[in-house]
Amino acid sequence: MTALEVHALSHSFGGLTALADVSLAVAPGERLAIIGPNGAGKTTLFNIVTGIFRPSAGRVRLFGRDVTRLPTHRRAQLGLARTFQISTLFPRLTVLESVLLAVQGLDPARFVLYRRRAAYGRLLERAESLLAEWGLADRAHQVTRQLSYGEQRQVELILALAGAPKVLLLDEPTAGLSPAETASVAEMIRRFSRDTTILLIEHDMDVALDLVDRVTVLFQGRVLAEGSKDEVRRDPKVAAIYFGTDDA
């Protein structure tokens, strides 16, 4: 059984075709990079997989279950999580408060509104454990907006991991980072458990190819190439449209 499968996905914005007959499958524990130039349809694909957009045609399956018409929160309950190209954090909360909210998000305690979050010892313990595991325990009581941008990206990854997702979509996790920050975030992703299947959109090709097992290349909303990292590197069509060479 595949962890995630999309079959013949198409999507249009008015007269503009963003995706056209895109199919791909990802095995449990696999790491797949989705690459391509700006406007190739990468983020649109993620938005369809997570339920933000409904496709014009095609299907999305999560561990064999058709989730094409399920809302985003139901997909999250089935084990799907994502990050965004632009950080989406709670800037006025502390790091620990933010992680605690994420831990609570898929727990039955999320429906209880008459007790302070800190009253749930097991949730607090889980949040503190995540921060310790990923080296941010010393930032627990710091307001999120006071962190460096690289640390904010790390916090966002921790929030995505808080619900122990089965499939995690990462949309350009190193965008806007310095080389040192990029190295820190890449190392964090490299350490993710293989219990979590990863789809990665990444503009930094060295980072992308270092972190994944296979690559799918999108161009003008279609699958241009797919295969191992070496196969994609050697593909003249990929070199022509993505790396700016004259080979074709």
Give the start-to-end residue ranges of the domains of the chain.
Answer: 4-89+163-242
The predicted structure's pLDDT at residue 68: 97
| pLDDT above 70 (res 107) | no
Contact predicate 224/207, CB 8 Å: no
The predicted structure's pLDDT at residue 206: 84
The more confident residue out of 242 and 166 is 166
The predicted structure's pLDDT at residue 113: 47
Band the pLDDT of 123: cuts 50, 70, 90. Answer: confident
The predicted structure's pLDDT at residue 119: 55
CATH of domain 4-89+163-242: 3.40.50.300
The predicted structure's pLDDT at residue 118: 55
The predicted structure's pLDDT at residue 86: 76
* Chain Cα centroid distance, residue 97: 22
Whole-angstrom distance, CA of residue 144 vs CA of residue 110: 22
Note the pLDDT tens digit of each residue in 30-82.
999 999 888 899 999 999 999 999 999 999 999 999 999 999 999 999 999 99
Band the pLDDT of 184: cuts 50, 70, 90. Answer: very high
| pLDDT above 80 (res 110) | no
**How would you write the chain as a 3-class SS string?**
CCCEEEEEEEEEECCEEEEEEEEEEECCCCEEEEECCCCCCHHHHHHHHCCCCCCCEEEEEECCEECCCCCHHHHHHCCEEECCCCCCCCCCCEHHHHHHHHHHHCCHHHHCCCCCHHHCHHHHHHHHHHHHHCCCHHHCCCEHHHCCHHHHHHHHHHHHHCCCCCEEEEECCCCCCCHHHHHHHHHHHHCCCCCCEEEEECCCHHHHHHHCCEEEEEECCEEEEEEEHHHHHHCHHHHHHHCCCCCC
Q: What is the mean pLDDT of residues 189-208?
A: 91
Whole-angstrom distance, CA of residue 96 vs CA of residue 10: 40
Q: What is the mean pLDDT of residues 165-170?
A: 96
The predicted structure's pLDDT at residue 3: 97
Q: What is the mean pLDDT of residues 225-241?
A: 89
The predicted structure's pLDDT at residue 114: 45
The predicted structure's pLDDT at residue 83: 92
The predicted structure's pLDDT at residue 111: 47
Round the average pLDDT of the chain to a whole number and report it: 89
Whole-angstrom distance, CA of residue 165 vs CA of residue 196: 6
